[in-house]
Structure 1
């Protein structure tokens, strides 16, 4: 199993206790920490603790929009690329309709060049209605958003592989001859045993059973959907059905999930961490919303002692979930939970 780490960028009110002039320093410090962990240099947990770091592609905070900072994802991708050496760089996930696919392909390819070939393209249809409308994107129907995802992925893949969009006449996008140079530094094989061509790994996010998982079966190198065991099993079966219909081996696709992690040496420590989360949110939202937020954390699959979390992940790995992207609520202020996870969970699951 491989592991990714979310960098606190503000979207989940993760920088509210940090002065604005220290936001970048805070993010950069954790990036360097994970980058060193990727090389096994004097970091608790041993070699290759973190395969990747991640941010969210959002503009307004949750659980409610606020004036607290949310740093823009692709600006951070470029900054992370120039400020790290080893760790992979992803967004979970980029909203297809926030940027034209021709432009997004060009941006991602440029960042891949800056990073030396480490960009991961998390991509999805988008859902945060308040944000869409506030930024003037309207809020298309789910079907229209999924059509944009499908067509956009086709355009980006073509641009990365060939250097040009060619002519594409879709229902949502019409492009003709958009060039993409530099092409990505990364190389991915095309077809069964085909030659490698320039491209960027696609992480298609979402568990929509009729459309999203079919798009993933067609185009993805990675999926990202529900992380609870029963839900994961169900979505995996749907993905396998789509792959079978399309003549693709489902094992070509790495299945990942995102997890809120609350970890302590014992139950008392876990309870203290949950109390901190509730207190943190109720400084910025109503007591009712704060209680709802902590309840969603409390019921997550990766809440408990290292032994409990390792057991859960071992079970998920057996089900086919081989890439966990982790979020720690207090990461901006304290790495205690990250280090405990590295020392006592990661070694049990690493390939």
Structure 2
């Protein structure tokens, strides 16, 4: 997690962002697998999925494939690339159960798992699945307690902990993960996602191997500085925590070509959403839509602010891998 080289991850289309529309359900896993295997055969460092149950920006009847089922499937169908979630919602699974699932996937993958975890935010699916929707403070407290349970189970293989949010009494996690931490104990690299300055970044300073937050280069630098303040209080070296961010990308040889891709992406999303929400599909706000050089300039500014890993979301990749291939061919070498 401490390499100075800029790493690149890629989101696998899974339906959450209406990126499998018009592909028959029986063919969707094949498309996801093909994208992941292309990344595995190429220069990408990692592939990623989202942990959501219903589509965004509006719930629809379009498929949203479940994150941890995909983790196991991708672990068995790739060989090199690392596998992550951005990010697992602590409220959706008991942390002892989550530790067990993640450890199993780490073994299946041969030790290639990255464990992304966050407090969760998508109220509609929380309520729809019967989880209620606790206030943000309670959700962040659950993140704090759950991370400690998960890491204890990985390290020791067993845990009994009573916290404000969760209780485990003799929970066993066997097999333990294949990967180990700096102390030599089993540990999956843990990404604590979110930019909350008072609590989330403080918990990241205590327990994370990586953070994930967005924003402009200036906003990113502010979060970096606050994280580093928390790390100093914890007595940790900033090099121990990789700074990462996600970026929506549509890249083609010309801006006009990239804009045409966005139009096609939004036409598919509009067809799948209620008419009242037409036009709310792929948002270009905060995205890079344009040429390889435009992507290089944007990501380069983030790298100057401390970015260690960039995870690209390409909304068209299930239909056309031209942007993925162009990014790999021109953007990656320029930023390496």
* TM-score, structure 1 as length reference: 0.91
Question: 1:44-83 maps to which residues of 2 (within 5 A)?
Answer: 49-83=43-77
- Superposition deviation, residue 240 in structure 1: 1.1
Q: What secondary structure, in the 3-state scheme, does the structure 2 residue paired with 1:204 have?
A: strand
Q: How many residues align?
A: 331
Partner of 2:239: 251
- Superposition deviation, residue 288 in structure 1: 6.4
Deviations 1:154-210 (A, max 9, x none): 011111111111x211110111211111110011103xxxxx211100011011111
Partner of 1:153: 147
Question: 1:65-144 maps to which residues of 2 (within 5 A)?
Answer: 65-144=59-138
Q: Whole-Å Cα distance in 1 between the matches of residues 66 and 258 of structure 2?
A: 32
CA contact (8 A) 2:57 2:280 kept: no
| Alignment partner of 1:226 is 2:220 | no
Q: What secondary structure, in the 3-state scheme, does the structure 2 residue paired with 1:30 have?
A: helix
- Structure 2 CA distance for partners of 1:290 and 1:235, relative to 1, 3 Å: farther
Q: What secondary structure, in the 3-state scheme, does the structure 1 residue paired with 2:47 have?
A: strand
Partner of 1:184: 177
Partner of 2:260: 272
Structure 2 residue aligned with 1:311, among 297, 307, 321? 297
Q: Whole-Å Cα distance in 1 between the matches of residues 312 and 164 of structure 2?
A: 36
Structure 2 residue aligned with 1:19, among 11, 21, 24? 24
Structure 2 residue aligned with 1:216, among 204, 229, 237? 204
Which has the higher mean CA deviation after the structures are superposed, 245-254 or 279-288?
A: 279-288
- Superposition deviation, residue 278 in structure 1: 2.4
Q: What secondary structure, in the 3-state scheme, does the structure 1 residue paired with 2:146 have?
A: helix
Deviations 1:16-37 (A, max 9, x none): 1201110111111111111111
Q: Whole-Å Cα distance in 2 between the matches of residues 52 and 239 of structure 1?
A: 24
**What runs of 5+ residues in structure 1 fail to find an aligned partner?**
38-48, 191-195
CA RMSD in angstroms, aligned pairs only = 1.3
Deviations 1:258-288 (A, max 9, x none): 1100112112112212222222222122566
Q: What secondary structure, in the 3-state scheme, does the structure 1 residue paired with 2:111 have?
A: coil
**What runs of 5+ residues in structure 2 fail to find an aligned partner?**
1-5
| Alignment partner of 1:6 is 2:11 | yes
